[in-house]
Amino acid sequence: MDAKVDTSPKSVARCSLRKLSGVRTLSASELSFISTLKSGELKCNAGATVVAESSYTPHIFTVVEGWGFRYKTMEDGRRQVLNYLLPGDMIGLQGAVLKEMDHSVEALTPMRLCMFERSRFFTLFEKQPSLAYDVTWLAAREERILDEHLLSIGRRTAIERAAYLIAFLHHRGTRSGQLNDEDARLPITQNLVADTLGLSIVHTNKTLRKLATRKLLSWKDKGCDVLDPAGLAAVAQWEPPNLKERGAE
Amino acid sequence: MDAKVDTSPKSVARCSLRKLSGVRTLSASELSFISTLKSGELKCNAGATVVAESSYTPHIFTVVEGWGFRYKTMEDGRRQVLNYLLPGDMIGLQGAVLKEMDHSVEALTPMRLCMFERSRFFTLFEKQPSLAYDVTWLAAREERILDEHLLSIGRRTAIERAAYLIAFLHHRGTRSGQLNDEDARLPITQNLVADTLGLSIVHTNKTLRKLATRKLLSWKDKGCDVLDPAGLAAVAQWEPPNLKERGAE
DNA sequence: CGAGTACTTGAGTCCGTTCAATCCCAGTGG
DNA sequence: CCACTGGGATTGAACGGACTCAAGTACTCG
C-alpha cells in the first residue's frame, strides 16, 4: 500500500462511523468508545491502492475526506468498478466479517482515512449496539446502491447509464460535502466511467459527448462538471434516494 | 400479497437467522430470544409476491424453504433480477434499516418463511449482539454476491454470464440444501435468466443452447438441470466462494 | 523533447437486438 | 371432447448498438 500512516493525535469526532454521513450525532459514550477502537489516521495520494484484492488487511477504514472507488478485476484484465467511496463510507466490512476481501480500493483524490483494528470489530457489537446498528445501516445502504447499479448496467441503455452515473455521483458528492454549487467537478476519468458502466472507452466517450451536447455536463481536464443534475436524472429515469434518518424504532 | 399466514405453533429452531445457513449453531438463550421476536410463519405458492416494491411492510422474513428472487423494475417494464433467495437468507433488511424497500420479492417455488416484527428489530442489536453480527454477516455476504453479479453483467460475455449464473445458482442451491446430486434442477425460466443477465430472451435462449450442446446443462420443462458445475464455472472464469465460518474474533 | 495519459473521432465489424413465426404443453370453457 | 388461450422454449432473418482498430490532438511531466 503506497500510503503513509499519520500517527499524530487527531480528533476522534471527525472519525466517527456515522457522524461523517451527516445523519446522526453521537453520544459521549459512543465517541469515547470509538477512540478506543481507533488505531490511527491514514493519508494517501490520488491513485494510491488502499486495499488490494484478496490480500489480508487487519484494518477497517472510514473515509474522512476525498474520493475513492472499489473494483474487481478478472485475470485477463477486465475491470469492473463496483462503487465509489466518499466521506462517511466504510472500507473493509466484507473483510472484517467474511475474513476476506474480494475487491480492491483505490484513491481517486488525496484521501484521509480513519483506521480501526479489525480484531476489535466484534466488541463493537457487544458494547455499542447503536454503532453496530449504524454499521448495518451502512451495509443496507450499500446494498441499495448496488441494486440500482445492477439495474443500470443490466437494463439501461448506454446514454441512460452514463446519465445515471453522473447524477448518482453528483448526488453522493453533494450529500457527503465533497461537492457544492460552485464546485461540482467529479474527479473521474472516462476510462473509469467505462469500467463502471460496462462499456468500452470509445463508446463511453461518444455517449458522454452526447450528454455534453445537451448541456447536461461538460468534461474538463480530468473531471466532469455536472451542469444539470436533474436533467441527467431525468434522462436516466432515476430518482435520487431520500434516506430517512435512522431511528431506534 | 397472495400468501397466507400459518399461525399454528411451530418449532422456533428451524426459523433461526443463521442455523438455516448451516454455518453456526445457536445457544439456548439465542433461541429463546428469537422466539420472542418471531411473529409467525408464512407459506406461499410459486409466483406469489412476498414483498412489493416501495410498499411498506412491517415484517422481516427469513427463508426456511424454497426458492425466490428479488428484482427491480423501471416504469416502462424493464426488469432486473438482483439476486435469488434460498433457505437461510433474509428478506427485508433494507426495509428494516432504511425504512423503505426499493425492490420486490417473488416466490419461484412454494416457500416457507419465518416472520419477524420489524418494530423489534433494533432490540436484537441491544440484546443479542451475536445475532446482530449474524445479520451483518448476511449483509456482507449479499454485498459480495452483488459485487460478483456486477462484474458479470458489466464485463463478462453472454456465454460467460450464463455459465456464471447457472454455476452460481447450483452452488447456492447445494449449499442451502435445496439441491443435491440426484436433483440438480434449478426452478427458473429462461425469461428470468434473461432478466438476471441483462440479455434479451432470444439471445439468452441461443446462449443457453450452446451451453447445452457442450453438455454443461440441459433445459427441461421449466427448469435447468446442471450437468457440469465445474465446467460452467470454468467457462465463466469464476471460482465458487468458500466462506469461512464466522468467529467472534 | 520524447514519453505517457486522457480525450476524441472515423470506419468497419460483430454481438446482441428486435421482429416474426413455430412448437409444445397445460389449463379452461363451450 | 376439442377448440381456444397463454406461457415457455426455439429458430431464422435483418437491424443496430456497441465493439475493435486506427489515427490524431492536447496536455503533463521528467
In this complex, do B133 and A119 lie within 8 Å of one another by their Cβ atoms?
no
Cell of B52: 412489493
Q: CA of A134: which chain B residue's CA is closest?
A: B97
Judged by a CB distance cut-off of 8 A, whether residue A2 touches chain B is: no
The four Cα atoms A193, A197, A200, A206 give a dihedral, to 10 degrees, of -70
Q: Label the pairing between strands B90-91 and B185-186.
A: unpaired
Residue with cell 472507452: A201
Please provide the average confidence, as pLDDT, over all residues in chain A.
88
Do A9 and A81 lie in a common domain?
A: yes
Residue B114 located in a structural domain: yes
Do B125 and B14 lie in a common domain? Answer: yes
Q: Which residue has the cell 442455523?
A: B19
By CB atoms closer than 10 A (0-12, 13-18, 19+), residue B76 is exposed
Q: Is the pLDDT of residue A209 over 90?
A: yes
Terminal Cα-to-Cα distance of chain A (whole angstroms): 41
Range of lowest pLDDT (A2-16, A74-88, B118-132): A2-16
Q: How confident is the model at residue B15, as a pLDDT?
A: 63
In a domain, A164, yes or no: yes
Listing DSSP states for chain A in one string gives ---EEE-S---SGGG-SSGGGTS-PPPHHHHHHHHHHEEEEEEE-TT-EEE-TT----EEEEEEES-EEEEEE-TTS-EEEEEEE-TT-EE-HHHHHHS---SEEEESS-EEEEEEEGGGHHHHHHH-HHHHHHHHHHHHHHHHHHHHHHHHHHHS-HHHHHHHHHHHHHHHHHHTTS--SS--EE---HHHHHHHHT--HHHHHHHHHHHHHTTSEEEETTEEEES-HHHHHHHHT-----PPPP---
Domain containing residue B50: CATH number: 2.60.120.10
Put simply, the answer to whether A147 touches B248 (Cβ < 8 Å) is no
On whether both A90 and A181 belong to a single domain, the answer is no
Q: Is residue B33 part of a domain?
A: yes
Distance from CA of B231 to the nearest CA of A (A): 18
Asked if pLDDT for residue A190 goes beyond 70, the answer is yes
Domain count, chain A: 2
User: Cβ distance B63 to B21 under 8 Å?
Assistant: no
Chosen domain end from B90, B112, B129: B129
In this structure, the answer to whether residues A97 and A200 fall within a common structural domain is no
d(CA B92, CA A163): 29
What cell does B182 get?
A: 440426484
Does B191 reach chain A within 8 Å, measured CB to CB? no
- pLDDT for A7: 40
> For residues B138 and A134, is the Cβ–Cβ distance under 8 A?
no
Question: In 10 A of CB B68, how many CB atoms?
Answer: 26
| Burial label, A99 (beta-carbon count in 10 A; 0-12, 13-18, 19+) | middle
Examine residue B143 and state whether it is found in any structural domain, yes or no: no
Task: Find the helix packing angle between A190-197 and A201-213, rounded to 10°.
Answer: 110
Distance, CA of A73 to CA of A77 (rounded, Å): 6
Alpha carbons A202 and A221: distance in angstroms, whole number: 18
Q: Please indicate, yes or no, whether residues B10 and B118 belong to a single structural domain of this protein.
A: yes
Q: Nearest to residue B168, comparing CAs of B205, B203, B197, B134?
A: B197
- Do residues A106 and A161 share a domain? no
Domain boundary, last residue among B129, B145, B165: B129
**In this structure, what is the dihedral angle of CA atoms B12, A141, A39, A96, given to the nearest 10 degrees?**
50
pLDDT of residue A23: 59
Question: Has residue A36 got a pLDDT over 80?
Answer: no
User: Is B245 inside a domain boundary?
Assistant: no
Cell digits of residue A163 = 446519465
- Point out the nucleotide closest to B191 (alpha carbon to C1′): D8
Q: Which three cell numbers stand for residue A121?
A: 470489530
Residues A112 and A201 in one domain: no
Interface subset of A 51-110, CB within 8 angstroms of B: 72, 74-76, 78-80, 82, 93-94, 96-100, 102-103
Residues B73 and B179 reside in one and the same domain: no
**pTM score:** 0.92
Residue A37 lies inside a defined structural domain of this protein: yes
Q: Do A246 and B97 make contact, defined as CB atoms within 8 angstroms?
A: yes
> Long-range contacts for B118-124 (Cβ within 8 Å, ≥24 apart)?
B118/B57, B118/B58, B118/B59, B118/B60, B118/B92, B119/A249, B119/B58, B120/B36, B120/B37, B121/B60, B121/B96, B121/B97, B122/A129, B122/A133, B122/A248, B122/A249, B123/B37, B124/B33, B124/B37
Say which CATH number the domain at B188 has: 1.10.10.10
At B61 the pLDDT is 95
List, in sequence order, the alpha helices (H) in B75-200.
93-98, 121-127, 129-155, 158-175, 190-197
Q: Hey, are the CB atoms on B151 and A80 less than 8 Å from each other?
A: yes
- Spatial distance between the Cα atoms of A132 and A121, rounded to a whole number of angstroms: 9
Q: Are residues B60 and B98 in the same domain?
A: yes
Q: Which three cell numbers stand for residue A15?
A: 472519525
pLDDT at residue B9 in the model: 42
Q: What are phi and psi of A214, to 5 degrees?
A: -80, 5
Residues 143-182 of A with CB under 7 A from strand D: 157-159
Instruction: With beta carbons less than 8 A apart as the criterion, state whether A112 and A64 touch.
Output: yes
> Is residue B147 a part of any domain in this protein?
no
Q: Residue B139: inside a domain, yes or no?
A: no
Helix (H, G, I), strand (E, B) or coil at B211: helix
Residues B104 and B166 in one domain: no
Residue where a domain stops, chosen among B89, B112, B129: B129
Per-residue pLDDT of chain B (249 residues; tens, 9 = 90+): 444 444 344 455 556 555 544 556 777 777 777 777 788 899 999 999 999 887 788 899 999 999 999 999 999 999 999 999 999 999 999 999 998 899 999 999 999 999 998 888 999 999 999 999 999 999 999 999 999 999 999 999 999 999 999 999 999 999 999 998 778 899 999 999 999 999 999 999 999 999 999 999 999 888 999 999 999 999 999 999 987 655 433
CA B71 – CA B82 distance, rounded (Å): 5
The domain of B124 spans 4-129
Distance from CA of A221 to the nearest CA of B (A): 26
A29 and A117 share one domain: yes
Residues 105-134 on A with a CB inside 8 Å of B are 119, 122, 125-126, 129-130, 132-133
pLDDT, residue B249, reads: 39
CA distance A82 to B151: 8
Q: Crossing angle, helix B129-155 and helix B158-175, to 10 degrees?
A: 160
The torsion angles phi and psi of B20, rounded to 5 degrees, stand at -65, -30
Q: Are residues A120 and A35 in the same domain?
A: yes
